[in-house]
Each structure stands twice: as C-alpha cells, then as structure tokens.
C-alpha cells in the first residue's frame, strides 16, 4: 500500500513537471520519427512528450475521451469527423508519404502493371489472390476500405480476404509468410522490407494513395485538466521550417528517399469538418 501511495505521488509529480500526451499512429512512432524529433522539443521547452502509439482509430478514441492532449494521425475522413464532433481543433498537416501495395515478387495478380491504385485492387479481387487487411480501424485500414469503395467492390467474406488484426509490421510479416498482398504505408514497408522480402508492386503517385499525417489539438473546452498550452507549443514546433526540414531528411540517406515529406501545414488532401 505504502508503495502504491508512493507510486501515485511519483506519477502525479511527473505530470505536473510539464508533460503532455500525444496519441499517435504506430507508423510515426515505430519508424523512429518521433524519437528523432521530440528530444529537441523537450530540450527547448522542458516539456516531456509521452507518446501513446496505437492505431489511428484508437488514437482518436483516446483523445476523444480527453485522455490525450493532442493527436498525430493519418486518416483524413476520421479526422474530419473528429473536428466535426468538436473533439479536435486547429488541424495542421505535417507530412505525407504514400501508401504502397506490397506483395510477392511473382505478382500473380499483375498489380505492377495496373494503371492506377483502384485498378490494382480490382486485379487482386478478380484473381482472388490472398490479401491481408489490417482490419483494425487504423489509418491504413481506412484507406484500404476507401480503395475498395472506389473500385465498387466489397471483398469482405471472400475466402482470399484475411484480416490480421495486428499492426503494420506484423501484418507485413504475415503477408510475406502467406505470399499475400497488403496495403502498407511506405515507412513501415521500407523498415521491414529486408526481413520480409515483399516487393513494392504499386508505389507510384496516385491521389488515392496519398498518406497524409495531421496534427490536432484536443478541444480544451471539452475536458478539464488538458495540457493545451503544451499541445500548441508542439504544434508550432512541428510546423517550424527547420523541424519540417528535419522531418524530410529523416532516414533519407538510408533508404534513398524521404520517409516523410514535409507539408509545412499545407494539406495535399483537404480535411474539412
């Protein structure tokens, strides 16, 4: 009991000393991006950013209950709803990359030859090649559903359509094991590429394959006890030119391309409440 009391005191102290909580998607955290840019912020402001890395759906749910001060996510349609419901304010586009359809190098559905992303999905559907979906309301999953809708197809219930229920890295590993296709963000794909041996069969500019990361402050009028000041400081920091440049440079040397392209606050895909 004594020990718990001590823990309770310890924890509330840690919060009082100037910290904020950022609920975010696994792709920005697991790629190491946050560990790369947040220490500078802490050094400048003394604010410790506690990162809770979950799927976009869960990140918005956590923030929507007032359990985080800000979110960094990648699902424009869910973001729009979040703003519309008055849970988030001051949306800002931070960075983008693109989604990739990854799959076996043999490419039985000939996705690589498809003219655009929607056509690529249609080819997978028509071949009945195994496709692994995240199935978890993450940003990637939302994008996948958008692609099926655009193609006018509903893969649910098909024997070749599997839902992993896990994060992107695990889903890619699963896809490699099963020789299946999957939709992935570029960052995670590049990270596990060497381990899985999956090929990036569709990795081209396409408006529907845009993967845009946005920052929102949780509406301070909705919840008491939020560290909104810190949330705004982080927003300003993320949009600062030097930080944006740093985001663009992250791991560029290693992969020969930017994992995250800076947006300087200008959205490529509009997010309207």
Partner 1 sequence: MTADWLEVWEVAARSLTVAGAATLLAALFSLPLGVWLGSRPRRGGLGAQVLLYAGMGLPPVVVGLVFYLLLSRSGPLGFSGLLFTKAAMVLAEAVLAFPMIAGFTMAGVRARAESVRRLVRGLGGCERQVLATLLWESRRPIVAALAAGFGSAISEVGAATIVGGDIRHHTRVLTTAVVLETRKGDLANAMALGAVLLGVTLVVTAVLVVWGERR
Stretch binding partner 1 (CB under 8 A), from 10-18, 95-103, 155-163, 229-237: 10-18
Q: HSE of 205 in the Cβ direction (CA atoms, 13 Å)?
A: 1
Return the residues of window 193-212 that contact partner 1 according to CB under 8 A.
195-196
Q: With binding defined as CB under 8 A, does residue 13 bind partner 1?
A: no
Q: What residues from 174 to 193 belong to the interface with partner 1 (CB under 8 A)? A: 188, 191-192
43: contact with partner 1 by CB under 8 A: no
Tokens at 186, concatenated: 């570029």
Q: Phi and psi at residue 243, in whole multiples of 5°?
A: -70, -40
Partnered with residue 163 across adjacent β-strands are: 133
Which residue from 67, 200, 249, 269 is in contact with partner 1, where contact means CB under 8 A? 67
Tokens of 271: 């997010």
Measured distance CA(86)–CA(55) in Å, rounded? 21
- Residues of the chain by 3-state class (helix, strand, coil), percent to 5: 45, 25, 30
Q: How far apart are CA 154 and CA 31, in angstroms?
A: 31
Contacts with partner 1, 214-253, as mask; x by CB under 8 A: ---------xxx----------------------------
Minimum distance from residue 118 beta carbon to partner 1 (Å): 28
DSSP per-residue letters across 82-120? HHHTTSEEEEEEEEEEEEEEEE-TT-TT-GGG-SSHHHH
Closest CA to 214 of 62, 94, 97, 63: 94
Give the residue with the Cβ less far from partner 1, 52 or 150.
Answer: 52
CB under 8 A: which stretch of 11-19, 93-101, 202-210, 242-250 binds partner 1? 11-19
When asked if residue 11 is in the footprint of partner 1 (CB under 8 A), the reply is yes
The correct pick among 8, 17, 105, 113 for binding partner 1 (CB under 8 A) is 8
Which residues sit at the interface with partner 1, rule CB under 8 A? 1, 3-4, 7-8, 10-12, 14-15, 21, 26, 30, 35, 50-53, 65-67, 166-170, 172-173, 188, 191-192, 195-196, 223-225
């Amino acid at each position: 009991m004594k020990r718990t009391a001590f823990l309770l005191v310890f924890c509330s102290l840690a919060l009082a000393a100037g910290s904020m909580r950022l609920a975010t998607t696994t792709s920005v955290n697991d790629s190491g991006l946050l560990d790369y840019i947040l220490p500078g912020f802490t050094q400048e402001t003394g604010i410790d950013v506690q990162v809770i890395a979950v799927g976009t759906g869960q990140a918005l749910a956590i923030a929507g209950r007032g359990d985080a001060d800000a979110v960094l996510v990648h699902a424009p349609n869910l973001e729009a709803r979040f703003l519309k419901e008055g849970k988030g304010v001051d949306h800002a586009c931070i960075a983008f990359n693109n989604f990739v359809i990854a799959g076996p190098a043999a490419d039985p559905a000939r996705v690589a030859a498809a003219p655009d992303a929607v056509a690529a999905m249609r080819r997978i559907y028509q071949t009945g090649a195994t496709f692994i979906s995240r199935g978890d309301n993450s940003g990637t999953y939302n994008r996948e559903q958008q692609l099926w809708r655009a193609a006018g197809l509903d893969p649910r219930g098909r024997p070749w359509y599997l839902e992993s229920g896990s994060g992107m890295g695990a889903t890619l590993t699963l896809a490699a094991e099963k020789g299946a296709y999957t939709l992935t963000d570029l960052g995670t794909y590049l990270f596990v590429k060497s381990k899985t041996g999956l090929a990036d069969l569709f990795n081209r500019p396409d408006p529907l394959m845009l993967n845009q990361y946005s920052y929102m402050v949780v509406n301070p009028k909705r919840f008491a006890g939020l560290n909104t000041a810190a949330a705004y400081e982080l927003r300003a920091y993320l949009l600062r030119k030097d930080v944006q440049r740093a985001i663009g440079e992250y791991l560029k040397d290693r992969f020969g391309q930017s994992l995250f392209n800076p947006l300087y606050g200008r959205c490529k895909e509009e997010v309207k409440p």
